[in-house]
Structure 1
Amino acid sequence: MQETLEKTPLLKDHKSKEYTFSLWEKYTSCRWQVGIIAGLAMSCSILLRLNMTMVVVCMAAGNLTVTVVQNGTDVTIRDPYLDNYVYWDSAMEGLLISGYYIGQVFTSLLFGTLSGRISGKKFILFLTSVLIVTSFVTPALTFVNPYLVLVTRILIGIATGGLEPCGTQLLSNWAPLPERAQMMSITEQANSIGGIGNFLLSGFICNIPVLGGWPFIFYIFGGMNVIAMTLWIFLVYDKPEQHPWIKPKEAEYINRHRTKSHGKKLKVPWLKMLTSAPVWACVLGYLTSGTLFMVMAVCLPLYIEQVLKFDVGTNGLVSALAFVGRFIGALVFGYLSDWVFTKGWLTLKTIRKTCHVFGTIGSVPIIIGISFLRQEDQVLAVVLITFYWFVLTCMNCGFRVNPADIAPRFAGVISGMCVFLNSAVSLFVPLLVTAVTPNGTADEWQSVFYGCVGVSVTGAVTFVVFASAEEQEWAKDPEENKDMVIKVTGNNNNTFDDHLSLSTEFKSLHQGKNTYS
């Protein structure tokens, strides 16, 4: 009976290598160096994508007047710092928060299609440069017209439309199967780190007694992106074979445990891709995650301000703690899913579905509990919000990793589809949230949280029904030899037959006593 790759043990004989790496060798390797720098770059870009959620809170004027004592008499005067603040109504705030998704809608699919055909390194460098320049000019435009600020948010959305698809494709080139969940979850860890930095640092930056503090959110975060791109230029390469310092052992390990495209231009099988149930499982999983992210992360400062009644500085800290939960969850569940796979306890398909369901359904009781909390439950609310994100992040070891399972050569294209549709949906989520919570009451926010429960359950069911972990026929490279029977003779003279999909590079590792039939 022909075995699929997910059920086949790694081949071992006296000729093949065990490919064992110490923790130091693993995390200082070129593949993890690329992954970590990619995560850093994505984290810094998240700062510029999410910063508007804190800016709209920080730039709103507090007391319009100040009472002082002059000659023993209380005198009310205008706040001298009032010129540093801007007032926007809730509709404009929702529009500006969702503004970058408008630009992302128009470019994510296009850039996702290009991700397998152009240099991801150069393209991400270009897109991030656009982010930096646009962010630097935003504070000046704020005092002119809010719609000019909306234009900058749309430009940021256009630039970010290619970041995740190109990053996904680049990491797909570097991630060996035994480490795939960990490396591919770097994107989620980047989102978490960026979210932590945005909310935590923004709260402190807002208190800078110059220009109201909030313009420095754009300037400081833009400068951090400049540093990240400097490291990107010197340390990141598109493929292992292009890296000047990679060791032969590591290059051999990566090539043995990944699908290669032979460097040729990709022809996207659009019809087969769009009619593939596993592809839509990834897309719907992404939409589930994106909707929950918009409500429970992007709109989180509004909930913390309106219901929990935290001040601006504490608001940023509490919002950051939610992303701490996401970051720890990405590390823990990414490691556990890869560890279970290498032990052979579960098939890859079962691991992906289990992780997705545990994240979506396991987080439901927590969000229901959050919906009943009020101002007097501030501490419990912070704990539950953080724990909610820790549990929910497990789903990323399902849908987010899955494109590299079902179509490694087209992982960037599928990611582009996901970002494209998610951007379209995310356009309306902040607007819907602000429309449902016009008064910012606890009861209004409870309705929002119940909506999240429905999204979680729907996302879990669709992924379980449609998801797969096997490379799809339409995604396979036609130049690779398929279904070759390998007879492997070990030192103990025991033999076994395995059916594997092998590339030419893989076969070259098994010459001599290994015979092909």
Structure 2
Amino acid sequence: MSTDVTKPPQDSEGFWKTRYTILVLNTLAMAISYATRVNISVAIVDMVNGTALREREAAEGIQLVRDPDACPGELVVLEDATGRRGGIIPAIQTTVCRWAPDHERSLFSIIFLGLFVGSLVSMAATGALCETAIGWPLSFYVFGAVGLLWSLSWFLQAADSPAQHPYIDPVERSYIEATIKSAAKTNLPVPWKSILLTPAIWALIAVMVTSDMSFYLLITSIPLYLAQVLHYDIRSNGIISAIPHITGTVGSLAFVWFTNFLLQKKFVSRIWTFRIINALGTLVPGAALVVVALVGCDAATVIAMLAISGFCTADCTSSYLNMQIIAPNYAGTIVGIINMFANLTGIAVPYIVGAFTNANPTRTAWNNVFYLSAAVATVSYLVYAVFTTTDEQPWNVPPSERAQKADTKEGIENTAFDEGITQIADGDTTQQAHLKAIVP
């Protein structure tokens, strides 16, 4: 084995890097994806002709429910809608593992800022677009056109990995490859059984289920609540529904900084960093929904609780970082598995809300929805806190590399968390861009 000490890998000169372009494109992809799926949550208010429904019910002799605890305002009759996300987050996870140096993973978590920016813009703009002469169809034309424009930029500027990018500076390419512990190696067999039998995976499923449930309530059901219970019109509904996404945008930046701060300063261990962050992201929104149920028609407090909930829901970036840490080679696969379960809440939430409120659209019925959501958040977080881990899973490493690790004393260190150690190139693994750490 060679013992020649080499200099740390050098990045390309200049402020802007090709990997930053990939970061921006993925952030925009997330924003546009959510904008095109969230707009229907507001547009549905205009799409459904409430007057016609009331006239039909009157003609058929159907009695409308009268709520003794109803808030002041006109009765609004609505239906609900929801959206899906067709594989973008798993694709982004794989891209991050191939493009982001280990010590920049938390920076690349800013991609998930697009989730809240897209939802914010969509919520705020859709209400205004629905009031134009064209009406609600305009919101679909606008966001669809934006998606097509993004696609053109993506095809011209993006690549699966630095090695496949036609314009990247060779120095930056070498730097990325030398500072990534795992380059999300292609063509590795997926250890399905090992993944599904890993408690940490189910811990992440639990926390993402409650995170997505809170988020789906914000984007698909809160507009309905604002219309049915607090009686806001279409424009006001769109603006108020956007508030959680305004605070979510701020929260996304705050949680990226806070997570990176805790990891770098090491005031607490890595595992407690993620426990703390996810406690804020699950328990606080659950508590906020309980407050919404208790304050009734106090619109100012309801809006404040929605703002707090939106801010804390933005912690989901830490969960995706947690996935990258425990199994970087299979980050995309793991996200696909976890999001499969989490996205079931996108189907379940409208049905749950409908089961409580369709026949009885009262404040009491909505309160039951909020109490149930808070209970799910509490149980899910406890599961996560008990079974989570930040250790790289043994099945993440191919058998050949696992045997190679067993032959060394120190193993391969992750430069994202162990800095300042002298790096030497291992002759057997230079081709794979792995670095061996020797502790003085």
TM-score by length of 2: 0.81
Partner of 1:367: 289
Partner of 1:482: 405
Cα deviation, 1:309-340, whole Å, max 9, x if unaligned, reads 21100110111111111111111111221232
Deviation at 1:250, TM superposition (A): 3.5
Cα deviation, 1:186-215, whole Å, max 9, x if unaligned, reads 23x2221221122111100110123xx011
Shift in CA distance, 508/283, structure 1 to aligned 2, threshold 3 Å: closer
Tell whether 2:122 aligns with 1:202.
Answer: no
Distance 1:311 1:252 in 2: 56
Partner of 2:326: 406
Matched-pair contact (CA < 8 Å) for 2:357–2:366: yes
Matching residue's letter, 1:193 = V
50, 74, 95: which one pairs with 1:170? 95
Partner of 2:7: 15
Tell whether 2:312 aligns with 1:391.
Answer: yes
Distance 1:424 1:486 in 2: 43
Distance 2:267 2:102 in 1: 16
Distance 1:417 1:89 in 2: 37
Shift in CA distance, 276/359, structure 1 to aligned 2, threshold 3 Å: same
Matching residue's letter, 1:432 = I
Identity across the alignment (%): 25
Partner of 2:415: none
Tell whether 2:29 aligns with 1:41.
Answer: yes
Deviation at 1:241, TM superposition (A): 1.9
Distance 2:399 2:102 in 1: 21
Deviation at 1:458, TM superposition (A): 1.3
Distance 2:225 2:184 in 1: 50
Matching residue's letter, 1:329 = G
Distance 1:367 1:218 in 2: 31
Count how many residue pairs are aligned between Structure 1 and Structure 2: 401
Deviation at 1:362, TM superposition (A): 3.1
Tell whether 2:216 aligns with 1:294.
Answer: yes
Matched-pair contact (CA < 8 Å) for 1:176–1:254: yes
Moved more, 249-258 or 228-237: 249-258
Q: How does 1:329-368 map to 2 (within 5 A)?
A: 329-368=251-290
Tell whether 2:218 aligns with 1:218.
Answer: no
Instruction: Give 3-state SS (helix, strand or coil) of 2:133's partner.
Output: coil
Tell whether 2:206 aligns with 1:284.
Answer: yes
Partner of 2:168: 246
TM-score by length of 1: 0.70
Cα deviation, 1:48-81, whole Å, max 9, x if unaligned, reads 22222122201123556xxxxxxxxxxxxxxxxx
Cα deviation, 1:205-243, whole Å, max 9, x if unaligned, reads 110123xx0111111110010111111111221112222
Tell whether 2:426 aligns with 1:504.
Answer: no
Deviation at 1:308, TM superposition (A): 2.1
Matching residue's letter, 1:16 = P
Cα deviation, 1:131-163, whole Å, max 9, x if unaligned, reads xxxxxxxxxxxxxxxxxxxxxxxxxx5xx4222
Distance 1:500 1:445 in 2: 61
**Could you say what the CA RMSD is over the residues aligned between the two structures, in angstroms?**
3.3
Deviation at 1:479, TM superposition (A): 4.1
423, 427, 435: which one pairs with 2:343? 423
Runs of 4+ in 1 over 6 A off after TM superposition: 18-21, 495-502, 506-510, 514-517
Instruction: Give 3-state SS (helix, strand or coil) of 2:204's partner.
Output: helix
Shift in CA distance, 323/515, structure 1 to aligned 2, threshold 3 Å: closer
Matched-pair contact (CA < 8 Å) for 1:195–1:320: yes
Matching residue's letter, 2:313 = L
Q: How does 1:53-68 map to 2 (within 5 A)?
A: 53-61=41-49
275, 278, 288: which one pairs with 2:197? 275
Matched-pair contact (CA < 8 Å) for 2:12–2:171: no
Distance 2:425 2:229 in 1: 57
Moved more, 416-425 or 263-272: 416-425
Matching residue's letter, 2:103 = P
Partner of 1:183: 108
Instruction: Give 3-state SS (helix, strand or coil) of 2:405's partner.
Output: strand
Distance 1:336 1:263 in 2: 30
Deviation at 1:500, TM superposition (A): 12
Shift in CA distance, 462/508, structure 1 to aligned 2, threshold 3 Å: closer
Shift in CA distance, 498/263, structure 1 to aligned 2, threshold 3 Å: closer
Deviation at 1:505, TM superposition (A): 5.5
Matched-pair contact (CA < 8 Å) for 2:12–2:172: no
Deviation at 1:276, TM superposition (A): 0.7
Moved more, 499-508 or 352-361: 499-508
Matched-pair contact (CA < 8 Å) for 1:168–1:184: no
Instruction: Give 3-state SS (helix, strand or coil) of 1:267's partner.
Output: coil
Partner of 1:152: none
Matching residue's letter, 1:30 = T
Cα deviation, 1:422-460, whole Å, max 9, x if unaligned, reads 233431210110221234322221111111111111121
Q: How does 1:51-200 map to 2 (within 5 A)?
A: 51-61=39-49, 93-94=79-80, 97-98=81-82, 100=83, 157=84, 160-187=85-112, 189-200=113-124
Deviation at 1:497, TM superposition (A): 9.1
Matched-pair contact (CA < 8 Å) for 1:337–1:351: yes
Instruction: Give 3-state SS (helix, strand or coil) of 2:342's partner.
Output: helix
Shift in CA distance, 194/370, structure 1 to aligned 2, threshold 3 Å: same
Structure 1: any 5+ residue segments left out of the alignment?
Answer: 1-12, 65-87, 101-156, 488-494
Matched-pair contact (CA < 8 Å) for 1:486–1:499: no
Matched-pair contact (CA < 8 Å) for 1:355–1:397: no
Cα deviation, 1:404-426, whole Å, max 9, x if unaligned, reads 11111111111111222223343
Matched-pair contact (CA < 8 Å) for 1:185–1:400: no
More strand by percentage: 1
